[in-house]
């Protein structure tokens, strides 16, 4: 019999407590018509170990906040939407009252600055019950803890979202990492289905991207009279042109 280490138990316990607490807060507030993902989670600052560039992380926060505002403008009592942006790709989960509402939500979100693509997983039907939301939050915590316990993948490569037992894996990862994370997630009790919304990169591309993201910005001398370079910014202020789609795209693959 394998006995979990103290660190493993503490990670799992802390994750479960945090996620269950979040579910209780959501339940006490009554009907929650709109939830944003990364902006709230990353409120304490940018994650240095994130594979996204700092510009992409900031853009994702902005996308979620602006997207939430756009959805609120068209929201009705039957619309319960969660928005999560990762590397400027937006996942929409939740429920709406009609196919027209589902299309309208996607249309307004596609017009948000910097959005490269939208994965619309909204379902027409009644909103999730409090027990369902609590269970989804608990599953998310268990999946995150399982990924952290794994020694052969980098857990921060992935963002985990759960909706009615379906776990969405978002991130930037190699094929091996994605398959491994999928296998781990499928082994978590309570997971009904896994959907991968992952930008697949090669090992070489990942190494190049990691070096680029970790490279320090050049420091100019105070006595220098040369103008500061303007091409360093990855976060231009709106209005701005839509960002081009990634060359490799994202792999959106249901895995049962």
Distance from C-alpha of 179 to C-alpha of 200, rounded to nearest angstrom: 11
Residue 95 has pLDDT above 80, yes or no: yes
* Among 113, 39, 61, 58, residue whose Cα is nearest residue 234: 58
Res. 90 pLDDT band, cuts 50 70 90:
very high
Residue 255 has pLDDT above 90, yes or no: no
Lowest mean pLDDT among 101-115, 124-138, 237-251: 237-251
Strands 89-96 vs 80-86: parallel, antiparallel or unpaired = antiparallel
Residues 35/22, Cβ–Cβ less than 8 Å: no
* C-beta neighbour count of 208 within 10 angstroms: 12
Distance from C-alpha of 89 to C-alpha of 87, rounded to nearest angstrom: 6
Q: What is the pLDDT of residue 3?
A: 46
Backbone angles phi, psi at 80, to 5 degrees: -130, 100
Q: For the residues 119-135, what does the mean pLDDT come to?
A: 96
Structure-token match 């039957």, residue found: 78
Q: What is the pLDDT of residue 46?
A: 52
Strands 193-200 vs 158-163: parallel, antiparallel or unpaired = unpaired
Q: What is the pLDDT of residue 156?
A: 86
Q: What is the pLDDT of residue 209?
A: 72
Alpha helices, DSSP H, located in the chain = 6-28, 38-41, 54-74, 99-110, 130-149, 175-186, 203-214
Distance from C-alpha of 137 to C-alpha of 32, rounded to nearest angstrom: 14
Q: pTM of the entire structure?
A: 0.70
Average per-residue pLDDT in the chain?
A: 77
Distance from C-alpha of 152 to C-alpha of 131, rounded to nearest angstrom: 34
pLDDT, tens only, 171-214: 999 999 999 999 999 999 999 999 999 999 998 888 887 777 66
Residue 243 has pLDDT above 70, yes or no: no
Residues 213/49, Cβ–Cβ less than 8 Å: no
Backbone angles phi, psi at 98, to 5 degrees: -160, 165
Q: For the residues 145-171, what does the mean pLDDT come to?
A: 95
Considering only residues 72 and 237, tell me which one the structure prediction assigns the higher pLDDT.
72
Which tokens sit at 202? 């090669």
Give per-residue burial for 209-221: e unless 16+ CB within 10 Å, then b.
Answer: eeeebeeeeeeee
Distance from C-alpha of 114 to C-alpha of 59, rounded to nearest angstrom: 7
pLDDT, tens only, 39-51: 444 444 455 578 8
């Amino acid at each position: 019999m394998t006995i979990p280490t103290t660190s493993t138990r503490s990670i799992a316990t802390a994750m479960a407590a945090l996620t269950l607490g979040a579910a209780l807060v959501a339940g006490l507030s009554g009907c929650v018509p709109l939830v944003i993902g990364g902006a709230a989670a990353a409120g304490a600052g940018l994650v240095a170990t994130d594979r996204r560039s700092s510009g992409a992380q900031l853009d994702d926060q902005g996308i979620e906040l602006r997207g939430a505002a756009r959805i609120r403008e068209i929201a009705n009592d039957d619309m319960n939407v969660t928005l999560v942006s990762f590397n400027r790709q937006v996942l929409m989960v939740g429920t709406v009252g009609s196919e027209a509402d589902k299309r309208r939500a996607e249309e307004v979100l596609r017009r948000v600055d910097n959005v490269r693509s939208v994965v619309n997983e909204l379902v027409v039907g009644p909103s999730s019950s409090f027990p369902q939301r609590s269970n989804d939050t608990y599953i998310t915590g268990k999946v995150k803890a399982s990924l952290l316990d794994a020694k052969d993948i980098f857990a921060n490569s992935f963002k985990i979202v759960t909706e009615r037992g379906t776990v969405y894996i978002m991130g930037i990862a190699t094929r091996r990492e994605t398959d491994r994370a999928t296998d781990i997630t499928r082994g978590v009790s309570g997971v009904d289905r896994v959907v991968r919304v992952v930008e697949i990169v090669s090992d070489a591309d990942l190494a190049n991207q990691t070096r680029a993201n970790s490279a320090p910005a050049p420091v100019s001398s105070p006595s220098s009279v040369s103008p500061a370079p303007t091409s360093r910014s990855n976060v231009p202020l709106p209005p701005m042109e839509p960002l081009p789609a990634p060359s490799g795209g994202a792999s959106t693959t249901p895995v049962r």
